[in-house]
Copies of this chain bind each other. A is one copy, B any other.
């Protein structure tokens, strides 16, 4: 499945259009935007996209389009459009973001450098816009494995949503890799001169802050939301 330049533009336009409107565009609207004079050509490419199962169409229905968001996310299209990365269409007021779950985070298990582009994430989740207070670019999620984060009130199975960034402000909850300790942890970050102090969220004195030299702490991202789904 190789998307032509036009098909990609069409896809991008549909996504941004549906973000801005609440209904899909017409064939002609697509044509005008993408620069296709013939409706039949748009139709032709739409048929291709449907063949690839990236969109679905209702025949003989005006604006009878719908996006296959999971598939789109798989090929990195929704993620690209969510953010301002892939210079171009900016998804507006759509009300939901698709975020890749990049892996599990567990005691002692490094999550490595968080990739800037999604690389074959194991799953995707959709979140409502209101659940994050930041621009939707560079968001990713991790599923928490084990109870090592319990001092941050994050439990086994929880999903933490982070924004990829190398630095953070005092008081931010971050996912950080601690060299030497060789473990990733979720803590509140505070700077203390040349040291960083990683404070647990749990005020219980049993959970003590971790103090390490700043150069030994690598911040993976800032936690913007924690979601727990019970069964």
Binding site for B on A (CB under 8 A): 18, 21-24, 26, 58, 61-67, 95-96, 125-133, 147, 150, 153-155, 172-173, 201-204, 206, 222-231
Show 6 A/B contacts (Cβ-Cβ < 8 Å), sorted by A: A23-B63, A62-B62, A62-B63, A150-B203, A153-B154, A204-B204
B227 pairs with A62, CB closer than 8 A: no
The chain B residue sitting closest to A124, CB to CB, is B130
State in angstroms the CA–CA spacing of A65 and B58 once bound together: 18
Known: A127-B128, A173-B230. A24 touches B22 (CB 8 A): yes
Give the top 7 A-B pairs by smallest Cβ distance, nearest first. Answer: A22-B66, A226-B228, A126-B128, A62-B62, A153-B153, A23-B23, A63-B63
List residues of chain B with CB within 8 A of the CB of A130.
125-126, 229
Known: A173-B230, A227-B226. A23 touches B66 (CB 8 A): yes
B227 pairs with A131, CB closer than 8 A: yes
B203 pairs with A206, CB closer than 8 A: no
Beyond the given A23-B24, A125-B130, A131-B227, could you list 11 further A-B residue pairs with CB under 8 A, ordered by the A residue number? A23-B61, A23-B63, A23-B66, A62-B62, A126-B128, A127-B128, A133-B231, A150-B202, A225-B227, A225-B228, A225-B229
Q: How far is the CB of A201 from chain B (nearest CB, A)?
A: 6
State in angstroms the CA–CA spacing of A187 and B125 once bound together: 27
State in angstroms the CA–CA spacing of A228 and B154 once bound together: 10
List residues of chain B with CB within 8 A of the CB of A172.
230
A147 pairs with B203, CB closer than 8 A: yes
Q: How far is the CB of A211 from chain B (nearest CB, A)?
A: 22
State in angstroms the CA–CA spacing of A82 and B26 once bound together: 29
State in angstroms the CA–CA spacing of A63 and B22 once bound together: 10
